[in-house]
């Protein structure tokens, strides 16, 4: 079954969030093509993933010391209720990620980086060996498509004065490729100058903002229609 894991990290509601608008457009387009059976939604802001605790770290270190441990064996290695609770919180998120053919994430830029809600999810799913086949060492996400839809209040495109302030894209690119996602299956869609309509100092950038949002909608539509794991790396500004 074709499957999509759709996650939003914006603290803003649907009416105020550009990333929520764009990921919803992607999801609607995708469901028109594939139906709703393979669709899974997670709102990381409304239903936050708990921060990892010392028990999570202790369990992770113990598992890592044993080399490649199948997920179904990790529960046997927990030591006490705290570690059991951490693994109960963690395993469903890992399984959800592994089951998805496409992962769609709405990521507003907060203080030049990603929201804490997304970082909490990243820290929890990145459990030792979770995305590696314990028998072969193969990366389990090598065929997974990841689409990152961002929104930035200013403009961080190449050649702009704030290009070097973008710690969002390089971080997520490094993270997902290290996790095993093939570079050609990792796509970024950026909506720039999203605050031009409500920050007086940015008002003269409204045309740029409108063009960027229109381009992002086109890119999202095109990506939603692609088969998972196909195409070359996409970077839309």
Mean pLDDT of 202-215: 93
Ligand-binding site membership of 185 (annotated): no
| Percent of the chain predicted with pLDDT > 70 | 96
pTM, two decimals, is: 0.92
Confidence of residue 232 (pLDDT cuts 50, 70, 90): low
pLDDT of residue 57: 98
pLDDT of residue 206: 92
Compute the distance between CA of residue 62 and CA of residue 85 in angstroms, rounded to an integer: 16
Structure confidence by residue, pLDDT tens digits, 80-134: 999 999 999 999 999 999 999 999 999 999 999 999 999 999 999 999 999 999 9
Check residues 1 and 43 and name the one with the higher pLDDT. Answer: 43
Considering its fold, how many domains does the chain have in total?
Answer: 1
Ligand-binding site membership of 171 (annotated): no
Check residues 203 and 2 and name the one with the higher pLDDT. Answer: 203
pLDDT of residue 223: 97
Q: 156 with 196: CB under 8 angstroms?
A: no
Domain containing residue 15: 4-236
pLDDT of residue 68: 84
Q: Tokens for 237?
A: 């500004």
Confidence of residue 27 (pLDDT cuts 50, 70, 90): very high
Mean pLDDT of the chain: 93
Ligand-binding site membership of 10 (annotated): yes
Query: Which CATH number belongs to the domain containing residue 87 in this structure?
Result: 3.40.50.360
Mean pLDDT of 51-62: 98
| DSSP per-residue letters across the chain | ---EEEEE--SS-TTT-HHHHHHHHHHHHHHHHH-STTEEEEETTTSPPPPP-HHHHHHHHHHHHT-S--HHHHGGG--SHHHHHHHHHHHHHHHHHHH-SEEEEEEE-BTTB--HHHHHHHHHH--TTTTB-TTT--BTTTT-EEEEEEE-SS---TTSTTGGG--HHHHHHHHHHHHT--GGGEEEEEE--TTTTT-GGGGGGHHHHHHHHHHHHHHHHHHHHSPTT-S--EEE-
Report the DSSP beta bridge partners of residue 44: none
């Amino acid at each position: 079954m074709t499957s999509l894991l759709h996650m939003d990290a914006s603290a803003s509601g649907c009416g105020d969030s550009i990333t929520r608008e764009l990921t919803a457009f992607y999801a609607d387009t995708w469901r028109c093509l594939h139906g709703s059976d393979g669709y899974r939604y997670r709102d990381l802001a409304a239903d936050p993933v708990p921060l990892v605790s010392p028990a999570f770290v202790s369990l992770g270190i113990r598992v890592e010391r044993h080399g490649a441990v199948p997920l179904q064996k990790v529960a046997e290695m927990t030591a006490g209720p705290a570690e059991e609770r951490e693994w109960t919180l963690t395993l469903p998120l890992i399984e959800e990620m592994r089951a998805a053919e496409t992962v769609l994430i709405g990521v507003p830029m907060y203080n030049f980086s990603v929201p804490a809600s997304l970082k909490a999810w990243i820290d929890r799913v990145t459990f030792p060996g979770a995305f590696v086949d314990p028998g072969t060492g193969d990366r389990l996400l090598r065929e997974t498509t990841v689409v990152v839809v961002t929104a930035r209040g200013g403009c961080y495109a190449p050649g702009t004065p704030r290009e070097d302030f973008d710690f969002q894209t390089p971080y997520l690119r490094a993270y997902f490729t290290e996790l095993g996602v093939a570079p050609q299956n990792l796509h970024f869609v950026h909506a720039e100058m999203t605050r031009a309509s409500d920050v007086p100092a940015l008002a003269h950038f409204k045309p740029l903002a409108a063009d960027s949002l229109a381009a992002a909608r086109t890119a999202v539509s095109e990506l939603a229609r692609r088969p998972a794991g196909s195409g070359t790396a996409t970077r839309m500004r």
